């Protein structure tokens, strides 16, 4: 293979001339802009929030992105939230017992074709030695009242998980029997029964039909009534209701209720930085070493060649996995190991053979004859000639490193803190996303990994003729 | 130059090459041994495990508890030292690393620390050979398949350089060759398994496996479809591309021009003037790829739960079972070095240019 007879200018010209190259560059530009805005908007706080299990409780679990509604025949619910101020409050004090009764009533309309995924009622109060008694009733648009639960508040910030609470479920089953239905108690799902039309299908999520109460229609709203009995004038109580939907945001949520959009956007700079740093550093080192060996010859060359051979025998991935497993590395330490493992490689060999040819060219001979020093010839006359080749190699090897990060994550060796595309894909995989069809969890980060890889591949395609100079003529 | 002189020269060259490769293998193996043992880090783990075991063993003995605490510690320590000696762990790591090296190079693979074969054997040889057929079945088949498809498509591309198919395939190859098979695997599981319900989720056999041999074979085939598809679809584009590049390069050589100028039919030029010199690099690449397929694919096997060598390697790494890691690597190293040497010898005998150019 002869050395490419072009410099960086020709490289850029080739890039802008080809449609593939332009497409690749525009994708990368878009990614960079998104990246810059994510880092600018959110800052590093997002990473802390991403790993905080309490930061995401208002989001539905495993919700699909909102735009995916177009794929579904029925309207899927979004999350409905009634905040403290949305509740209508009435209080009265009963005589000398210093008892205080507080009624909190929340109202909302529900016009979706599918049932909510979960229901949670958060109650916070300030109280003294005696704990308040709380009674919760669910008033349906058809006028029926479901008694949910009546319990003593254990903590100042209690969460009554209506859709998961066994007592509530038993009461819902009792309600259904009282309506003259004969449900199989094992199949009753609280959040379905609370929102279902009263018929025989109510007891089974597969056959239940939603009792809609559209705000436009004449139907009444759903109401939740929280009645608290408190033991002092100063004691307060407030409630917050979350009826979790099945759609959320632009990228959906994962099984820990996290907004995947944030993780995915944050993953872009990490992926780009990881791919670029590793490919740039390994390509530069390999190029320089290959040129060094070919130019100086003798034992330098022999040593570099032999070490390269050893590198080619050592299995790259197992060694990388072993090191990251034993030392539990972060993504940036993995990067260092990666670079050390790629100091020598295929590029060392191809650079060497190119420099062996360049060495024989007249202009090098001329330089030698007028007394240019060896290092000078190497750095000023030879390296610039092979740099376009190294650059094209960098571009074409970035995707491999982006995927490598994902592969390590898939083995559970990803960075423990920073959200990366690979980590999201691997969490989706281990969270059973491909087995239960949580497609957004897998597909959105996958598509982004692919688009990024393809962008670099397209740019590499426009460099193809430089990488394979003998194929220039058509 | 007389013919036997040539032969003498090439055999001397081959000997030198063999020596270099042998040194390469030894150094590479030693590095692997150091890495697989975590540079001696694993010793600490084994030591604390043995100490815990000894303490547990003695604590069940009521007499032991009546002894003074120093005596108890002395007894535990004594037992730990004995079991260290029994495992050959009493020598310093640096000394043992060379013992491991000699063992590995003489293919004395020894016993695994934790992993057992399905039959309960702890011999590294048994463990590896138990996994080998599955890996060969899937990955070597797949590799042969994608090399064949790739070379064929490469030939088709070469027929009309710069044509629509050539350009389209080149673009496809460059994009597709960056995608790893496990990536296609995850997405194809989602599409073909979850949504279309066409294939099983993973593994190699149904549970329970079918009794008669024919449906057994069909069952394996059924489980193989998706992993094979992922392996081939990500493999062949690259092969089409490099085959094309090698052949195009040769077709621009002067001797091909001369053959064309003589008026030889295109088919003759292709087979005798382009394919013949193009074959060695293609054969070398094929052989090396095939050898590498022996290692399986760690991630692809994980995604498809395929019980192969790649999965074994992963299990060995995550349980810090150094002998298994070393065993797999040394077999791979030997196969690789032997292949390179055999190919070198074959070319030295067959290709006149190689004999002369190394003078």
Contact present, A10 and A391 (Cβ < 8 Å): no
Residues of chain A with C-beta less than 8 angstroms from the C-beta of B303 = 410, 429
Say what the pLDDT of residue B158 is: 87
Whether B158 contacts chain A with CB within 8 A: no
Tokens of A290: 């290959």
How close does chain A come to B64, measured CA to CA in Å?
36
Cβ neighbors of B233 (< 8 A, separation 6 or more) are B176, B181, B184
β-bridge pairing A236-244 and A118-126: antiparallel
Query: Is the per-residue pLDDT at A178 higher than 70?
Result: yes
Residue B224: its pLDDT value, please? Answer: 94
Locate tokens 């239905």: which residue? A181
* Interface contact B18, partner A, CB < 8 A: no
Q: How far apart are CA A382 and CA B119, in angstroms?
A: 60
For residue A473, what pLDDT band results from cuts at 50, 70 and 90? very low
The string of pLDDT tens digits covering residues A343-363 is 998 899 889 988 998 888 899
Which residue, chain included where needed, has tokens 């496809």? B172
CA A383 – CA A392 distance, rounded (Å):
14
Got the DSSP string for B48-79? HHHHHHHHHHHHT-HHHHHS-HHHHHHHHHHH
The pLDDT value recorded for residue A14 is 73
Chain B residues with CB under 8 Å of A435 CB are 194, 201
- CA-nearest of A105, A59, A61, A98 to A81 is A59
Chain B touched by A466 (CB under 8 Å): no
Answer yes or no: is pLDDT of A223 > 60. Answer: yes
pLDDT at A155: 84
> Out of A13-17, A216-220, B145-149, B246-250, which region has the weakest mean confidence (pLDDT)?
A216-220
pLDDT in the model for residue B7:
52
Residue B64 in this model has a pLDDT that exceeds 80: no
CA distances to A162, A416, B104, B203, B218 from B206, rounded to whole Å, are 40, 36, 37, 8, 11
pLDDT of residue A1: 41
Identify the burial level of A130 via C-beta atoms within 10 angstroms of its C-beta, where 0-12 means exposed, 13-18 middle and 19 or more buried: middle
Alpha carbon of B214: minimum distance to chain A alpha carbons (Å): 29
Residue B111 pairs in a beta bridge with B123
Rounded to the nearest 10 degrees, what angle do helices B3-36 and B322-350 cross at?
170
Work out the minimum CA distance from A315 to partner chain B, whole angstroms.
7
- Which residues numbered 137-176 in A keep a CB inside 8 Å of some CB on B? none
Closest Cα in chain B to A302 = B20
Place of tokens 């559970």: A412
Where residue A221 falls (left for φ over 0; alpha for ψ -120 to 50; beta otherwise) is: beta
Asked if A258 and A249 touch (Cβ cutoff 8 Å), the reply is: no
User: Is residue B158 exposed (0-12), middle (13-18) or buried (19+ Cβ within 10 Å)?
Assistant: buried
Q: Which of B237, B107, B221, B217 is nearest to B165 (CA)?
A: B237
- Phi/psi region, residue A438 (left: phi>0; alpha: psi -120 to 50; beta: rest), is beta
Whose CA is closest to B243, among B280, B297, B282? B282
Higher pLDDT, B174 or A15: B174
Which pLDDT score, from 0 to 100, does residue B77 have? 84
Per-window interface: A 251-310 vs B, CB < 8 A:
306, 309-310
CATH dotted code for A8-54+258-467: 1.10.3720
Nearest Cα of chain B lies from the Cα of A410 at a distance, in angstroms, of: 8
Q: What's the whole-number mean pLDDT along residues A290-301?
A: 92
Average the pLDDT over A61-75 and give the result: 91
Query: Given pLDDT bands bounded at 50, 70 and 90, which one contains residue B62?
Result: confident
Task: Give residue A3's pLDDT.
Answer: 46
Q: Average the pLDDT over each of A206-220, A369-383, B194-208, B288-302 and give the range with the smallest value.
A: A206-220
From residue B331, give the alpha-carbon distance in Å to each of A213, A311, B20, B25, B122. 70, 16, 18, 11, 18
> Which of B39, B157, B162, B174 best tests the A interface by mutation, with the highest count of A CBs <10 A?
B174
pLDDT at A465: 64
Nearest to A317 among B162, B183, B298 (CB): B298
Q: Please state, rounded to an integer, the average pLDDT across all residues of chain A.
A: 87
Q: Whose CA is closest to A334, among A319, A348, A353, A315?
A: A319
List every span in chain A annotated with CATH 1.10.3720. Answer: 8-54+258-467
Q: Rounded to whole angstroms, how far apart are CA atoms A56 and B153?
A: 51
**Secondary structure (DSSP) of A89-117:** EEEEEEGGGTEEEEEEEEEE-B--SS--S
On the question of pLDDT at A414 being above 90, the answer is no
CA distance B172 to B187: 19
A328/B contact by beta carbon, under 8 A: no
Q: Which residues on adjacent β-strands are paired with residue A247?
A: A64, A78
Question: In this model, does residue B8 exceed pLDDT 60?
Answer: no
Q: What is the pLDDT of residue B359?
A: 38
| Residue whose pair of structure tokens reads 């292709």 in the numeric block | B270
Q: What is the pLDDT of residue A87?
A: 93
> A443 pLDDT band (50/70/90 cuts)?
very high
pLDDT in tens, B121-158: 889 999 999 999 999 999 999 999 999 999 999 999 98
H or E stretch at A302: helix A298-313
CA distance B291 to A113: 57
- Contacts of B38 by beta carbon, 8 Å cutoff, 6+ apart: A322, A326, B320
For chain B, what is the largest distance between any 2 Cα atoms, rounded to a whole number of angstroms? Answer: 102
CA distances from A451 to A308, A326, A406, B7, B183 (A): 33, 33, 14, 54, 13
Asked if A316 is an interface residue toward chain B (Cβ–Cβ < 8 A), one would say no
- For B84-98, write each residue's pLDDT tens digit: 888 777 788 888 889
Model pLDDT, residue A472: 46
Q: State the average pLDDT for chain B.
A: 86
Residue B219 above 50 pLDDT?
yes
Peptide bond into B347 cis (omega under 30): no
* CB atoms inside a 10 Å sphere around CB A388: 23
Q: Is the distance from CB of A111 to CB of A215 less than 8 angstroms?
A: yes
Neighbours of A310 (CB within 10 A): 18
Answer whether A306 sits within 8 Å of B329, measured CB to CB.
Answer: no
Written as one string, the DSSP assignment of B199-246 is S-SSSSS-SSPPSSHHHHHHHHHHHHHHHHHHHHHHHHHHHHHHHHHH
Q: SS3 letters for B261-299?
A: HCCCCHHHHHHHHHHHHHHHHHHHHHHHHHHHHCCCCHH
Q: Confidence band (pLDDT; 50, 70, 90) for B232?
A: very high
Examine the pLDDT at A474 and tell me if it is beyond 50. Answer: no
Which DSSP category does A59 fall into? S
Token pair in block for residue A352: 């060497």
Q: How far apart are CA B180 and CA B183, in angstroms?
A: 6
Average pLDDT over residues B22-26: 92
Compute, in degrees rounded to 10, the torsion defined by CA atoms B313, B318, B319, B323. 40
Q: Token pair of B256, please?
A: 């091909």
Instruction: Give the C-alpha separation, A384 to A356, whole Å.
Output: 15
Residue A167 has pLDDT above 60, yes or no: yes
**pLDDT > 90 fraction of chain A, expressed in percent and rounded:** 44
Give the distance, in angstroms, between the CA of residue B241 and the centroid of all CA atoms in the same chain: 23
Q: Do A471 and B162 touch (CB under 8 A)?
A: no
The pLDDT of residue B276 is 84
Taking the mean position of all CA atoms in its chain, how far away is CA A314? 33
pLDDT at A247 over 90: yes
Taking only the tens place, the pLDDT of each residue in A75-106 is 999 999 999 999 999 988 877 667 889 999 99
Task: For residue B91, give how far its alpha carbon lies from the nearest alpha carbon of chain A (Å).
Answer: 22
pLDDT one-digit tens code per residue, A420-433: 898 999 899 889 89
pTM: 0.85
Which pLDDT belongs to residue A362? 92
- Region A414-425: mean pLDDT is 87
**Tokens representing residue B139 in the block:** 């990955």
Separation of alpha carbons A427 and A419, rounded Å:
11
User: What does DSSP assign to residue A79?
Assistant: P
Q: Determine the distance in angstroms separating the CA of B312 from the nearest CA of chain A, rounded to an integer.
A: 11
> Which among A319, A400, A434 has the least Cβ separation from residue B178?
A400
Residues of chain A with CATH 2.60.120: 77-244
How many CB atoms within 10 Å of residue B44? 10
**DSSP H/E element including B311:** helix B309-318
CA distance A451 to chain B (A): 10
- Residue A219 gets the label, from left (phi > 0), alpha (psi -120 to 50) or beta, of beta
Q: What order do you get walking across the sheet with A222-230 strand by strand? A: A88-94, A99-108, A222-230, A133-139, A145-152
| Residue B320 contacts A, CB cutoff 8 Å | yes
In terms of pLDDT, which residue wins out, B193 or A128?
Answer: B193
pLDDT bracket for residue B177 (50, 70, 90): confident
The radius of gyration computed from the CA coordinates of chain A, to the nearest angstrom, equals 32
pLDDT band at A21 (very low <50, low <70, confident <90, very high): confident
> What fold is seen in the domain A77-244?
Jelly Rolls (2.60.120)
Whether the predicted pLDDT of A7 surpasses 80: no
Q: Which of residues 195-254 of A touch B (CB under 8 A)?
A: none
pLDDT digits (tens, 9 = 90+) for B287-324: 989 988 888 888 999 889 999 999 999 889 888 888 89
A19-42 and A260-296 helices cross at what angle (nearest 10)? 120
pLDDT for the residue numbered B114? 83
Partner B contacted by A473 (CB < 8 A):
yes
DSSP structural state of residue A418: S
Q: Is the peptide bond before B208 cis (omega within 30 degrees of 0)?
A: yes
Point out which residues pair with A222 in neighbouring strands: A108
Alpha-carbon gap, residue B327 to B29, rounded angstroms? 10
Asked if B249 lies within 8 A of A471 by C-beta distance, the reply is: yes
The model's confidence at residue B250, banded by pLDDT at 50, 70 and 90, is confident
The nearest alpha carbon in chain A to B333 belongs to A313
Q: Which tens digits make up the pLDDT trace of A141-157?
A: 888 999 999 999 888 88
Q: What is the pLDDT of residue B10?
A: 66
pLDDT per position as a tens digit, A128-144: 888 899 999 999 988 89
Q: How many helices (H) and strands (E) does chain A have?
A: 17, 9
């Amino acid at each position: 293979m002869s050395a490419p007879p072009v410099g960086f200018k020709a490289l850029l010209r080739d890039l802008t001339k080809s449609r593939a190259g332009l497409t690749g560059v525009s994708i990368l530009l878009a990614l960079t802009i998104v990246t810059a805005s994510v880092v600018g908007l959110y800052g590093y706080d997002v990473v802390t929030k991403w790993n905080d299990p309490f930061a995401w409780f208002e989001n539905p679990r495993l919700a699909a992105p909102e735009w995916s509604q177009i794929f579904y025949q029925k309207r899927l619910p979004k999350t409905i939230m009634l905040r403290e101020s949305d509740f209508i409050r009435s209080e009265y004090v009963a005589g000398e017992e210093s008892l205080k009764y507080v009624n909190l009533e929340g109202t909302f309309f529900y016009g979706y074709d599918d049932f909510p995924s979960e229901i949670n009622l958060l109650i916070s109060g300030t109280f003294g030695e005696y704990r308040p008694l709380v009674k919760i009733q669910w008033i349906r648009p058809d006028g029926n009242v479901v008694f949910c639960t009546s319990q003593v508040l254990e903590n100042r910030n209690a969460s009554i998980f209506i859709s998961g609470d066994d007592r509530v479920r038993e009461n819902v089953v009792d309600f259904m029997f009282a309506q003259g239905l004969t449900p199989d108690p094992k199949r009753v799902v609280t959040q379905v029964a609370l929102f279902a039309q009263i018929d025989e299908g109510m007891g089974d999520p597969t056959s239940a039909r939603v009792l809609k109460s559209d705000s436009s229609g004449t139907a009444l709203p759903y109401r939740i009534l929280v009645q608290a009995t408190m033991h002092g004038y100063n004691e307060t109580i407030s409630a917050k209701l979350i009826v979790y939907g099945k759609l959320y945001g632009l990228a959906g949520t994962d099984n820990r209720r996290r907004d995947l959009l944030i993780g995915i956007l944050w993953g872009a700079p990490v992926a780009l930085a990881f791919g670029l740093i590793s490919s740039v550093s390994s390509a530069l080192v390999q190029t320089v070493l290959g040129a060094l060996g070919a130019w100086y010859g003798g034992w330098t060359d022999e040593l570099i060649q032999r070490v390269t051979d050893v590198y080619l025998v050592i299995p790259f991935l197992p060694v990388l996995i072993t090191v990251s497993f034993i030392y539990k590395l972060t993504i940036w330490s993995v990067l260092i190991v990666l670079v050390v493992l790629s100091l020598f490689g295929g590029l060392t060999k191809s650079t060497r053979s190119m420099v062996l040819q360049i060495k024989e060219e007249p202009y090098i001979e001329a330089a030698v004859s007028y007394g240019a020093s060896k290092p000078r010839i190497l750095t000023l006359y030879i390296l610039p000639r092979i740099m376009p080749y190294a650059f094209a190699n960098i571009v074409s090897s970035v995707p491999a490193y982006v995927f490598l990060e994902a592969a390590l994550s898939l083995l559970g060796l990803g960075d423990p803190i920073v959200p990366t595309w690979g980590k999201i894909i691997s969490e989706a995989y281990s969270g059973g996303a491909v087995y239960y069809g949580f497609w957004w969890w897998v597909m959105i980060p996958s598509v982004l990994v692919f688009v990024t890889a393809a962008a670099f591949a397209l740019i590499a395609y426009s460099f193809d003729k430089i990488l394979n100079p003998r194929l220039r003529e058509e | 130059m007389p013919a036997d002189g040539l032969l003498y020269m090439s055999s001397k060259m081959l000997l030198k090459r063999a020596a270099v490769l042998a040194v390469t293998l030894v150094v590479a193996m030693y590095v692997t041994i150091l890495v697989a043992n975590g540079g001696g880090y694993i010793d600490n783990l084994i030591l604390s495990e043995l100490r815990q075991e000894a303490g547990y063993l003695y604590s069940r003995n009521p007499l032991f508890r009546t002894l003074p605490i120093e005596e108890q510690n002395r007894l535990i320590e004594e037992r730990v030292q004995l079991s260290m000696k029994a495992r050959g762990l009493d020598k310093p790591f640096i000394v043992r690393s060379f013992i491991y090296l000699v063992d590995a190079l003489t293919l004395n693979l020894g016993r695994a620390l934790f992993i057992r074969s399905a039959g309960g054997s702890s011999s590294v040889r048994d463990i590896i050979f138990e996994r080998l057929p599955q890996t060969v079945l899937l990955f070597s088949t797949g590799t042969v398949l994608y090399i064949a498809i790739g070379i064929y498509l490469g030939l088709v591309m070469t027929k009309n350089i710069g044509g629509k198919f050539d350009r389209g395939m080149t673009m496809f190859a460059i994009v597709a060759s960056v995608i790893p098979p496990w990536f296609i695997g995850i997405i194809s599981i989602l599409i073909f398994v979850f949504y279309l319900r066409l294939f099983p989720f993973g593994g190699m056999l149904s549970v329970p496996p079918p009794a008669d041999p024919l449906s057994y074979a069909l069952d394996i085939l059924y489980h193989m479809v998706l992993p094979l598809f992922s392996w081939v679809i990500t493999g062949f584009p690259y092969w089409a591309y490099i085959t094309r590049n090698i052949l195009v390069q040769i077709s621009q050589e002067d001797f091909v021009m001369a053959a064309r100028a003589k008026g030889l039919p295109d088919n003759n030029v292709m087979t005798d003037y382009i394919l013949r010199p193009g074959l060695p690099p293609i054969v070398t690449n094929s052989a090396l790829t095939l050898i590498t397929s022996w290692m399986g694919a760690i991630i692809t096997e994980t995604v498809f739960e395929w019980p192969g060598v790649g999965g074994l390697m992963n299990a060995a790494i995550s349980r810090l079972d150094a002998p298994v890691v070393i065993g797999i690597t040394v077999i791979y190293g030997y196969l690789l070095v032997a292949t390179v040497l055999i190919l070198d010898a074959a070319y030295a005998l067959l290709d006149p240019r190689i004999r002369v150019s190394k003078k």
